[in-house]
A and B are shown apart, each in its own frame.
Chain A
Amino acid sequence: MRPVLSVHEVTKKFHQVVANDRVSFDVMPGEIHCLLGENGAGKSTIAECIYGFHRPDGGTISVRSKELDLRSPSDAIRSGIGMVHQHFVLVPSMTVLENIVIGTEVATAILDMREAAERIAEICRRYNVEMDLNSRVSALTVGQQQWVEIVKALFLGAEILIMDEPTAVLTPQESRRLFAIFREMCESGMSIILISHKLDEVMQSDRVTVLRKGKKVGTVETRASSKSELTNMMVGREIDLGAPRPRGVIGSPMIELHGLCAQGDLGTPALNGMTLTVHRGEIVGIAGVAGNGQKELFETLTGVRKATDGRVVFDGKEVTNHSPRDIQKAGMGHIPDDRFSEGLVPDFDIQSNLILGAQREPAFSKMGFLRFDAIRQFARDSIEAFAIKAPSAQTACRTLSGGNAQKVIVAREFAQSTKAILANQPSRGLDIGVIEYMHGRLTDKRDENFAILIASEELDELRSLADRIVVIFKGQIVGEFRHDAVDLERIGLLMAGHTGEAAAKTSVGEA
């Protein structure tokens, strides 16, 4: 069989950074081809070269043995290449239908919306996707927006679909569905290039190409490989995130929530009387499908969102509805889940982002002016301590890969907090090496008597890290498990809202 897409010796440089160094791989018709690699290995960059978004400095890209001269994404679309980006590019104020047809030939010719709507409905029927074409994108969940992006690519006639970390924002159920649909697409002759850090997903592909520091390490048949072999190719050593960790001594209460209530962005109740205590020297994991109040919980704790009822006590002091600044000063650090919009100022450089929130602290400012020598020194130390991969401390965070951006936030929050750390989906989109590193750091903080609260959809992560796991569903804690009495199956049921039958069993786990 001839490959449908051949990438040959592609090189892409950003100034002195070589993001791709003579990368070659083939994609066969009907294949799911995975790109695997550490954060910053160059996966998004090679994908964006194929999609015509970046222009390679060398090498060729061909579709069905015909060399392409890609100057923009529209050239790629004409050659049957579609892409769903790591960060979505939909227009929130427009309807689903408008978002799918804007920028297409259909829109530039006389707009025949009715015909377009019919074709879109046909695509949705074929893949069993339910979608209201007339609702506004702003009213959709991230998961639904993902489907809009995919349908848009199909509508544009994609035969080769590039998905850059599609499941990072999906619930486990949604991502299972996504994979079932990928299979159907492949059976009808399409090919899929998938970028993912989740090894469980990678194992469902046909072949895997591993990148490391911009270079290709090799391409393997997934069936003939294993998770540990892939990890080894990717980071050069074996990593087992599930390995049990030493437990510490749990102290007195640090963060106490009493019947906390808060509203979501749309004014609907998001926290419905949440009661929870996190102690000194304890890591509490919140298991739950994203969107069940985790975000609102962290925002209410840090003072960014108003509590409508209930109380928050931090280190013995009432901090309900105190300002974010006061709560930070009291020693609470926060790693939000949306890195680029909530955790960073993307257009600031690394050193500026590292002092965000501390710009008036005596360490970094004197008589109202910033102490640049101290800031540079702090940035150099953080970059070294957290192994942030960037040309310099003056690099704009916008150009960092997802993993390195996360390290900047983690480095900052670790430095600024003195008593507690809250982290919402901290390992989302991170490579296995960085996750291991971050877990190690969080454990260190716990041993320094910090109270740590982590929300994650990855139960394995919580199981190895947390001293206690609580399950969140619709803004309430519906179950609680000590680390030595964790029952993943029950947690799964509770996460899905099966409170009745699971609750009976939970009481056994509580000791």
Chain B
Amino acid sequence: MGIVIEKRLTPSISWQVASILLALLASFIISALLLKSAGADLGKAGAALWDGAFGGWRATWKTLVKATPLMLTGVAAAVAFRARIWNIGAEGQLYAGAIFAYWVSLMVGSLPALFLVPLLFAAGAVGGSLYGGLAGYLRARFEVSEVLSTVMLNYIVLYFLSFMLTNPWRDPSSFFQQSPKVVDNSLLPNLMPGTKLHMGFLVALAVVVIVHLVMTRSSLGYEIRAVGLNEKAARFKGIDVKWVTMVVMLISGGIAGIAGVTEVFGVQGRLNPGISVGFGFIGIIIAVLALLNPVAIVFVAILIGGSINGGIKLQVATGVPSTLIDAIQAIILLFYLAAAVLARYKFRIVSNG
């Protein structure tokens, strides 16, 4: 007896769904064992998890707020991955967008909200775009692997932010490394009174729709997909691969930069090193899980946003250490990723003889 693993030529939707459910189940079991070992009450833990994620309207709105930057970073990663450009730098581009938009808000903060808010989104996109474009330029001009450059740029922007918050932009009245509150007219308008749901959510949805249309219906999207699927044939047919690389990194970085704006002006109300809790990296996982499909990214981002919020609630309710919650979240993501791979293979049991 043995097990034969083969790559599927055509993906099967039912098997894809089944493997995701399998991943959910497996991650639940492992998480339950972990929680049990920490002495938590499983029933209470499960209820808290659900409560924090989708239990009631309030929790659901909060989940959507959390999903907003994830949708953006997910789409940012997906655009790049479609062209087989491995942009691992959405995290850094998010910060670059946040920093640039914050700087703009300092310069022209007196503008009325009607002009200021769109300007801030544009500034975030430009900041992220330039930062992503830098990696794109290094790859197009000097053939520097974008995996290396984007990862390193992630660090550089964080240290730059830390420098800015140590002196020039620091809120003198605060003990923490953070800027003062941003001006009121720069805050993103609230969508629903009594909740934290802000305009960034709608902007993220619009970005998803635009990206989807551009990727599937425009000449540029066609070129991006052609380069990703067969760079050589694309080059032979006159598509300028370097130009596409540049454009893709500008777009991808720009989208990630917008996520910086939603966090600074929609959630935190100030600039600090904690505006992202790894949104840029979780976005990569979301893009892969959603098979790079922008519409699927919305749903996966909401699911993952919910599990982040549920984890916070769970910690409060059961008092298990927060590192355990981090571990559980990592486990869930790992199993999801395994499911995404699993869905592409088939397994059979054979008898030798």
Query: Which residues of A does B touch, CB under 8 Å?
Result: 71-72, 74-75, 302, 304, 323-325, 327-329, 334, 336, 341-348, 352, 356-357, 359-360, 365, 368-370, 372
Contact = CB atoms under 8 A, between A and B. Distances in A.
User: Which 9 residue pairs spanning A and B have beta carbons closest together?
Assistant: A325-B238, A357-B237, A324-B238, A345-B230, A359-B219, A356-B237, A347-B229, A365-B219, A359-B222
A328 B233 contact: no
Nearest to A108: B2
Contact of A328 (B222, B225, B238): B238
5 contacts: A341-B230, A345-B229, A345-B233, A348-B226, A369-B219
B236 A304 contact: yes
B330 to A, nearest CB: 32
Given A324-B237, A324-B238, A347-B229, A369 B218 contact: yes
Contacts of B220: 368
Contacts of B239: 325, 357
A343 B230 CA distance: 10
B83 to A, nearest CB: 13
B230 A344 contact: yes
B43 to A, nearest CB: 45
Given A325-B240, A357-B239, A343 B4 contact: no
B223 interface: yes
A324 B217 CA distance: 24
A74 B230 contact: no
B237 A328 contact: yes
B235 interface: yes
Interface residues of B, number: 23
A20 to B, nearest CB: 17
Contact of A360 (B219, B235, B348, B350): B219
Contact of B235 (A74, A75, A304): A304
Contacts of A372: 217
A359 B350 contact: no
Contacts of A72: 4, 6, 348, 350
Contacts of B218: 368-370
Contacts of B235: 304, 324
B233 A344 contact: yes
Contacts of B238: 323-325, 327-329, 357
A371 B197 CA distance: 38
B234 interface: yes
Interface in B297-324: none
Given A71-B4, A75-B350, A324 B219 contact: no
A426 to B, nearest CB: 15
A304 to B, nearest CB: 6
Contacts of B222: 352, 359, 370
A345 B235 CA distance: 11
Contacts of A71: 4, 348, 350
B232 A341 contact: yes
Contacts of B230: 341, 344-347
Contact of A334 (B4, B6, B236): B236
A348 B6 CA distance: 23
Contacts of B225: 345, 348
Given A357-B237, A370-B218, 16 more contacts: A71-B350, A72-B4, A72-B348, A302-B236, A324-B235, A324-B237, A325-B238, A325-B240, A342-B236, A344-B233, A346-B229, A356-B237, A359-B219, A369-B217, A369-B218, A369-B219
Interface string B194-236: 0000000000000000000000011110110110011011111
A369 B232 CA distance: 24
A342 B232 contact: yes
Contacts of A341: 230, 232-233
Interface string B9-49: 00000000000000000000000000000000000000000
Contacts of B237: 324, 328, 356-357
A348 B239 CA distance: 15
A368 B240 CA distance: 16
B217 A370 contact: yes
A356 B6 contact: no
Contact of B226 (A324, A336, A345, A369): A345
Given A72-B6, A368-B218, A356 B233 contact: yes
B350 to A, nearest CB: 6
Contacts of B229: 345-348
Interface in B97-118: none
A71 B6 CA distance: 11
Contacts of A347: 229-230
A347 to B, nearest CB: 5
A372 to B, nearest CB: 8
Contacts of A75: 350
Contacts of B236: 302, 304, 324, 334, 336, 342-343
Contacts of A356: 226, 233-234, 237
A349 to B, nearest CB: 11
A329 B238 CA distance: 9
A260 to B, nearest CB: 19
A348 B233 CA distance: 12
A338 to B, nearest CB: 9
A67 B100 CA distance: 71
A74 B240 CA distance: 43
Contacts of B217: 369-370, 372
